[in-house]
């Protein structure tokens, strides 16, 4: 039996996804950096988002499975 203070598998995966996405956003030499959507320049005083990328259309269920699309839409509400 595992100790109760250890993170769950879901928490470990979520943390790894966040870490990878952050590396993608801020490292222009990362192999997946060119897969990111274009940057957006908003002159509106909207609430702060953790990134400055255009949200892509979620046109299919397959798009929901894409790592980059999932991360762009994560915690936007």
Q: 17 is written with which tokens?
A: 């996804």
Between 53 and 27, name the one with better pLDDT.
Answer: 27
Between 62 and 22, name the one with better pLDDT.
Answer: 22
Task: 22-27: list long-range contacts, CB under 8 Å, 24+ apart.
Answer: 24/68, 25/51, 25/53
For the entire predicted model, the pTM comes to 0.68
Distance CA 30, CA 55 (A): 20
Q: List the chain domain ranges.
A: 9-73
State the average pLDDT over residues 18-42. 86
Confidence at 16, pLDDT banded by 50, 70, 90: very high
């Amino acid at each position: 039996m595992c100790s109760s203070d250890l993170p769950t598998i879901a928490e470990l995966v979520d943390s790894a996804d966040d870490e990878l996405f952050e590396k993608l956003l801020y490292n222009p030499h990362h192999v997946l950096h060119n897969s990111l959507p274009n940057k957006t320049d908003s002159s509106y005083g909207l609430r702060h988002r953790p990134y400055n990328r255009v949200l892509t259309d979620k046109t299919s269920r397959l798009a929901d499975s894409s790592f980059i699309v999932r991360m762009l839409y994560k915690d936007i509400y």
